[in-house]
Structure formats: C-alpha cells, structure tokens
Amino acid sequence: QLLADSKYSEKYVLQKLIMEYLHCTREQMWTEGEKEIADEILNKITSGYKSYVEDKKPLEYIVGHVSFFGNDFIVNENTLVPRPETEYMVQAITEHIQSASLNEAVLMDIGT
C-alpha cells in the first residue's frame, strides 16, 4: 500500500527504506507486499522518507550504513558517503594493475 500512495513520489527511496527496515529483498517486498507492517516500522519508514524529501538528508545517513566495494560501512553526518564513481574508479585501477602485471605498483591517495 505504501508504494501505491501518491504522496510518496520518490519510489526508489521508499523501496530502499522498506527493504532496510523490513530486512527483505526487492523480490520479497513485491511478493509479500500485502503483509501488515508494525506501527514502529511504519514510523521509521515514513520518518526516513520525510528526512530524505524535506530535509534533503542522504539516504545513507538515514539508514546509517553504505556498501562500498563489497563492504558495509557505518556512516553518519560526521562521515563522507563513498560515491559510486569512486567505486568504479577503484575497480578500473585494480583491473588495470592486474592486466598490466604490475607486481610492484605504487598507488598514492592524495587529497583525502
């Protein structure tokens, strides 16, 4: 019912919050969508959605973690959220080093 409600225009965010707080996959969310949601969980979902839409709070801060390069990191307002572009860059550099057989490659991280 939440996803059908027109007041939730940011469907992607709503879906992510539902999956996060119900600990379910996207498939479970759609196939088991008629299940009753406890008031406490519903309040978390709607509060998180409101924080995203009205306060422009990043989704990662709302849920408190982010996945980066296969690892889950705790984030909050005092940390930077790793961007997907950074993950792509790390992947590209890793692949380049492996394909070029650079056994003694030196990488420098400048500016963090």
* Averages of pLDDT over each 10 residues, the chain, 112 residues: 73 92 91 87 95 95 94 94 90 85 74 66
Q: What angle do CA 63, 77, 51 make, to 5 degrees?
A: 50
Q: Which residues contact 99 (CB under 8 A, 6 or more apart)?
A: none
The predicted pLDDT at position 1 comes to 64
Quick one: residue 23, left, alpha or beta (phi over 0 = left, psi -120 to 50 = alpha)? Answer: left
CATH of residue 52: 1.10.8.10
pLDDT the model gives residue 35: 83
Q: Looking at residue 95, what is its pLDDT?
A: 87
Per-residue pLDDT at 112 = 61
Q: Residue 108: which domain range?
A: 1-112
The pLDDT of residue 7: 76
Number of domains composing the chain:
1
pLDDT in the model for residue 41: 95
Which residues contact residue 110 at a Cβ distance below 8 angstroms, ignoring those fewer than 6 apart? Answer: none
Displacement of CA 63 from its chain's centroid (Å): 8
